[in-house]
Amino acid sequence: MSIFNDNSQTKEESRRTILAVVISTVLVGAGFMVQNMLFPPAPQTQAVTKQTQAPGAQAVVPAGTVVTQPAQIMAPFVTSSSKEEVKTTVPVVAAPALEAKYGIETDLFKAELSNSGGDIVSLKLKKHKDKDGSVDLILPGSTASRGLSLAFGGPDSAPVTDLMNATWLDAERKTIRFSTIFYAKTADGKLVPFTYKKIYTFRDGEYLFAMAVSLEGVDGNQIPLNANGLAYTLSLGPQIGPRFNQLPKNADYRKYILEVDGKKKAETPKTGAIQAIKDLPSWGALAGKYFAFIAIPETPFANFSYLQADDPAIRQTNTMFLSRPAVAAFSHMDKYYFFFGPRTGAELAKYEYADKNSFGLSSMKLEDVTERSNILGWLETILKVLLNFFYRLIPNYGVAIILVTILIKAVFFPLTKKGSMSTARMQELQPKIQELQAKYKSNPQKLNQETAEFYKRENYNPMSGCLPMLIQMPLFFAMYSLFNNHFDLRGASFIPGWIGDLSLPETIWNFGAFRLPLVGWNDLRALPIIYLASQLLYGKFTSAPQSGQSANQMKLMMYGMPIMFFFVLYDVPSGLLIYWIVSNLLTIAQQVVINDILKKRKLEAATALAGGSGPGGSAGAKNAGKTVVKSAPSASGRSLGDKVKDWLENKAGEAQKATEGQNAKKPGSGKSGPGTSGPGTSGPGTSGSQGGKGKGR
């Protein structure tokens, strides 16, 4: 049996019960009237009434007060007739003498509930681990608060802790009911008994479970639950797990998220005060970095409020309240659904379609509780697919991060190459640009015009060096969001003994209770230091030589920015730092290759100029001659660019010798070897004499 068919009486039985109560009330009332007429009360009745008042009793007990025994409400408000009525109409149900725990287990949950208030005292996720075993999402503070506690009244009321009777409602022991009898005080001082029930239903394959709060008037009495406009308040707190008070500031957090009129709304309550939400949300969530608690009333009737405070046992506390408006009915039942589980789209998307979950929920929009980039969400999804693809090939997320980084750098290599070559081209044009700046320093408008025309003549786009970086910026932000929020990275190990969890910062030495002044660090981490070294090396390889004020600015960027980011990124997840370090190293390798390509192109341009022919081409012959006789550098310790340069010089020398040999065999050329000038060498379009030292000089 579940909360959806848990009716303790049939309609016929209820009708008979109500009829019996009405008849009994009429007969009892008529009997008292006849008794008072025939036997009037004695004069000392007033004195007896005064004697029943307890010394120091409160003068006023608010209407709506709820207790387990009539004696708990002060004597002036308990008349002899009401006592007699309680004795004759309320069924006697023996309450348990001791607290007992009841376990419910599914393929995903291992829950423990207590008959003290019918609260959940432990809710462990069987498929998700932490250092103490399975992740427990119910964390008690110093006050030992439990999950889904109920208090009659508002959020500041004391939760119910009375021992209740527990009954299993199914053979699988996945639906349990807690029940007891309470008494509510009316405005005229009468006590109205009612049965309070709290029913839970768990199901396999679901991180979501159902809970019902049932209020039933005894013998058909109307239940007067109205304490300042509220009947009761459910609370979850003081913190959902896993415990995060000892983690670095960027490793975990708690956020409040609401769904109001189909739109996501985030709340940031102030510490120390209960913050009420004016709207009636369709659901409210208390979300951490990887797990979330979502409270879903069957219909939007509950008032939500939040409280963020401090607790000596768990430091920061985060509590969510759901308050039910006043109830005045013979019986009433509220139904809720609660999601305790991974904050992933795969688990939350099930509740968009009724056939995807066993509770038949649809169009809940629970995915709004996840962290997603509104603009770059599509790019983050692509990166997540790539990461999971490489993980399936090599089941290590650290390796998968490295492979994704290599793939990205390979895809963007043409842009990186273009940007580097544009930077090199800018260095070549810099002297002429400085001449223009000196020439038109007093006329900025003319300077801009001449500079634009200069770029046009040189066929150079000044934005070509920045464009590749601008294109890659969205990728960087998407990667940051992915590595900072991807659920599968939680608990994923890269190098056992060092990087055991890619979702957390690594540590090589803990300082214990000591914390470094100013920064507050109590761990020595290796990855931020490696990142700083790689970033400084990256700047060395990619920065262009500058002079004057530009050189000072370049030094600030090359040294100041990495040091600043070292402090900013000290406590970020290790997976993000692995990506950044590998990206820097790959960029350095790419820059080495690009530098060799630039040297090769410069050499090709110089060789083409040296071997060129045409009118007035004697200068080319002169340069070619110098190229041939230039001594070769030693073979040891040469870069790829130097080897390419030597090969090109040798080829240019061989071509020069072949040209001279052909010219020497032509009629009328004479002996025009190197250092001589024969007849006919001055003719236009001839090139044979240009290799010598005669007319070429």
Do 643 and 635 meet the contact criterion of CB atoms below 8 Å apart? Answer: no
544 has a pLDDT exceeding 70: no
pLDDT the model gives residue 163: 94
Where does the pLDDT of residue 94 fall: very low under 50, low under 70, confident under 90, or very high at 90 and above?
Answer: confident
- Give the mean model confidence (pLDDT) for residues 122-127: 93
Q: How far is CA 396 from the centre of its chain?
A: 21
Q: Look-up: residue for tokens 């310790």?
A: 637
- Give the mean model confidence (pLDDT) for residues 679-686: 41
pLDDT the model gives residue 313: 73
According to DSSP, residue 402 is labeled H
In 3D, which of 195, 165, 191 has the Cα closest to residue 182?
Answer: 195
Cα–Cα separations (whole angstroms), residue 27 to 39, 67, 87, 283, 573: 18, 29, 17, 49, 75
Question: What are the backbone angles phi and psi of residue 57, rounded to the nearest 5°?
Answer: -65, 150
Q: How far is CA 590 from the centre of its chain?
A: 32
Q: Which two tokens stand for residue 321?
A: 């309240």
Any residues with CB less than 8 A from the CB of 292 and at least 6 apart, and which?
285, 286, 339, 340, 341, 342, 343, 369
Q: In this structure, is the dihedral angle defined by the CA atoms of residues 130, 136, 138 and 142, taken in order, positive or negative? A: negative
pLDDT the model gives residue 422: 76
- How far is the C-alpha of 432 from the C-alpha of 140, rounded, in Å? 72
Cα–Cα separations (whole angstroms), residue 229 to 67, 224, 273, 327, 328: 18, 11, 20, 9, 11
Strand partners, 212: 199, 335
Count Cβ neighbours within 10 Å for each residue of 567-605 and write b for 16 or more, e otherwise: eebbbbbbbbbbbbbbbbbbbbebbeebbbbbbbeebee
pLDDT the model gives residue 147: 82
Q: In degrees, to the nearest 5, what angle opens at C-alpha 283 toward C-alphas 280 and 288?
A: 130
Q: Which two tokens stand for residue 550?
A: 């530009």
Do 79 and 45 meet the contact criterion of CB atoms below 8 Å apart? Answer: no
Where does the pLDDT of residue 550 fall: very low under 50, low under 70, confident under 90, or very high at 90 and above?
Answer: low
Torsion, CA 449, CA 453, CA 458, CA 462, rounded to 10: 40
Q: What is the DSSP string of 63-94?
A: TT-EESSGGGS-GGG--HHHHHHHHHHSPP-P
In 3D, which of 444, 443, 282, 453 has the Cα closest to residue 369?
Answer: 282
Least confident interval from 150-159, 389-398, 399-408, 680-689: 680-689
Span 446-474, pLDDT tens digits: 888 888 888 888 777 776 656 666 777 78
149 has a pLDDT exceeding 80: yes
DSSP H or E stretch at residue 651 = helix 640-665
Any residues with CB less than 8 A from the CB of 684 and at least 6 apart, and which?
615
Where does the pLDDT of residue 120 fall: very low under 50, low under 70, confident under 90, or very high at 90 and above?
Answer: very high
According to DSSP, residue 271 is labeled B
Span 10-28, pLDDT tens digits: 455 455 556 655 565 555 5
- How far is the C-alpha of 541 from the C-alpha of 588, rounded, in Å? 6
In 3D, which of 442, 440, 460 has the Cα closest to residue 450?
Answer: 440
Cα–Cα separations (whole angstroms), residue 273 to 147, 148, 279, 305: 20, 20, 18, 10
375 has a pLDDT exceeding 60: yes
285 has a pLDDT exceeding 60: yes
The residue type of 286 is L
- Give the mean model confidence (pLDDT) for residues 319-329: 91
- Helix axis angle for 377-393 and 467-485, nearest 10°, is 70
pLDDT the model gives residue 211: 97
Span 587-617, pLDDT tens digits: 888 888 888 887 887 788 778 877 654 444 4
Where does the pLDDT of residue 173 fall: very low under 50, low under 70, confident under 90, or very high at 90 and above?
Answer: very high
Based on its alpha-carbon atoms, the radius of gyration of the chain, rounded to whole angstroms, reads: 42
Span 618-642, pLDDT tens digits: 444 444 344 344 444 444 445 555 6
Residue 31: exposure state from Cβ atoms within 10 A (0-12, 13-18, ≥19):
exposed
Question: What are the backbone angles phi and psi of residue 99, rounded to the nearest 5°?
Answer: -70, 140
Cis peptide before 238 (omega within 30 of 0): yes
Any residues with CB less than 8 A from the CB of 105 and at least 6 apart, and which?
111
- How far is the C-alpha of 83 from the C-alpha of 70, rounded, in Å? 8
Task: Give one word for 255, left, alpha or beta, with left for phi > 0 and alpha for psi -120 to 50.
Answer: beta
Do 69 and 90 meet the contact criterion of CB atoms below 8 Å apart? Answer: no
Least confident interval from 400-404, 486-490, 577-581: 486-490
- How far is the C-alpha of 370 from the C-alpha of 482, rounded, in Å? 12
pLDDT the model gives residue 26: 59
Least confident interval from 225-229, 319-323, 328-332, 427-431: 427-431
Do 306 and 237 meet the contact criterion of CB atoms below 8 Å apart? Answer: no
52 has a pLDDT exceeding 60: no
150 has a pLDDT exceeding 80: yes
Residue 482: exposure state from Cβ atoms within 10 A (0-12, 13-18, ≥19):
buried
- How far is the C-alpha of 231 from the C-alpha of 326, rounded, in Å? 4
Domains defined for the chain, CATH in brackets = 101-369 (2.70.98.90), 377-593 (no CATH), 611-630+639-664+692-697 (no CATH)
According to DSSP, residue 559 is labeled I
Mean pLDDT, all residues of the chain: 76
- Give the mean model confidence (pLDDT) for residues 395-407: 93
Q: How far is CA 688 from the centre of its chain?
A: 74
Q: Report the helix count and the strand count for the chain, using DSSP H and E.
A: 15, 23
- Give the mean model confidence (pLDDT) for residues 142-155: 82
pLDDT the model gives residue 490: 84
In 3D, which of 236, 246, 303 has the Cα closest to residue 275?
Answer: 303
- How far is the C-alpha of 163 from the C-alpha of 99, rounded, in Å? 7
- How far is the C-alpha of 144 from the C-alpha of 140, rounded, in Å? 5
pLDDT the model gives residue 648: 56
- Give the mean model confidence (pLDDT) for residues 555-562: 75
Span 349-360, pLDDT tens digits: 999 999 999 999
Task: Give one word for 271, left, alpha or beta, with left for phi > 0 and alpha for psi -120 to 50.
Answer: beta
In 3D, which of 641, 672, 652 has the Cα closest to residue 610?
Answer: 652
E strand segments, 100-157: 101-105, 109-114, 120-130, 133-136, 138-139, 149-152
Do 572 and 250 meet the contact criterion of CB atoms below 8 Å apart? Answer: yes
pLDDT the model gives residue 423: 72
- Give the mean model confidence (pLDDT) for residues 555-580: 83
pTM reported for the whole predicted model: 0.68
